[in-house]
Amino acid sequence: MSSFEIIGGQKLKGEIIPQGAKNEALQVISATLLTEEKVTISNIPNIRDVNKLIDLLKDLGVSIEKTNSDEFTFKAANIDLDYMNSENFKQKAASLRGSIMILGPLLARFGKGNIPKPGGDKIGRRRLDTHFIGLQKLGANFNYNADDHFYNVSAKKLIGTYMHLDEASVTGTANLIMAAVLAKGTTTIYNAACEPYVQQL
């Protein structure tokens, strides 16, 4: 097993610029799907999962430009919704657990979205109930194809509502916030996650 040896006894000083957080980046990048206007995001970490999401959005039709070493612009003016039915989308989205967060924005803006059962880190029970139940409360309908492990979600109109989450899920809260901002009326989320990632979103 790898290890680090820390040799102390020295006074520490200096300055660092912290790298952007992966979980925050996944949320705010997904939020660019809510608008066709250009969005610029800085301090995006060069991390595999973040790069995978950027690549997935590009395949969806988002115009993406890298303007600096850690800065990108996103313009989701021409989204190809049919791409979500392709095998390429299923494979790419399934390899990234954070892909679940494109569901809320797509549902809110276009009234539909597809997502395969996400993969990602195997760190115990990480259910998606919070996402799905919350979106259903806003008016979404879900269909699950057990043969290819694929979820299809649709809604003619999302309506703001009160919801009490059974767990304070960070990604679940983020997904519901993104769906709710374009819903008609006010949405109140009780037992929402309150991490800095969510507040920044």
Structural domains in the chain, sorted by start: 22-200 (3.65.10.10)
Task: Look at residue 118 in the predicted model and tell me its pLDDT.
Answer: 65
pLDDT over 80 (residue 96): yes
Instruction: Please compute the mean of the pLDDT values over residues 79-107 and round it to a whole number.
Output: 93
Task: Look at residue 162 in the predicted model and tell me its pLDDT.
Answer: 97
Instruction: Please compute the mean of the pLDDT values over residues 40-58 and round it to a whole number.
Output: 95
Helix (H) or strand (E) holding 127, with range, is none
Q: Locate tokens 């049919």: which residue?
A: 82
β-sheet bridge partners, residue 115: 151
Share of the chain above pLDDT 90, in %: 72
Question: Alpha-carbon distance 124 to 126, whole Å?
Answer: 6
Residue 103 and residue 141 in contact, taking contact as beta carbons nearer than 8 Å: no
Question: Alpha-carbon distance 176 to 81, whole Å?
Answer: 20
Q: What is the pLDDT of residues 115-152, one digit of tens each?
A: 887 654 443 445 788 999 999 999 999 888 888 778 89
Task: Look at residue 77 in the predicted model and tell me its pLDDT.
Answer: 97
Question: Alpha-carbon distance 134 to 115, whole Å?
Answer: 16
Active site members: 121
Q: How many CA atoms lie within 13 A of 117 on its CB side?
A: 11
Task: Look at residue 125 in the predicted model and tell me its pLDDT.
Answer: 46
pLDDT over 90 (residue 1): no
Task: Look at residue 119 in the predicted model and tell me its pLDDT.
Answer: 56
More confident residue, 149 or 84: 84
pLDDT over 50 (residue 83): yes
Instruction: Please compute the mean of the pLDDT values over residues 42-60 and round it to a whole number.
Output: 95
CB atoms within 10 A of CB 171: 24
Instruction: Please compute the mean of the pLDDT values over residues 160-188 and round it to a whole number.
Output: 95
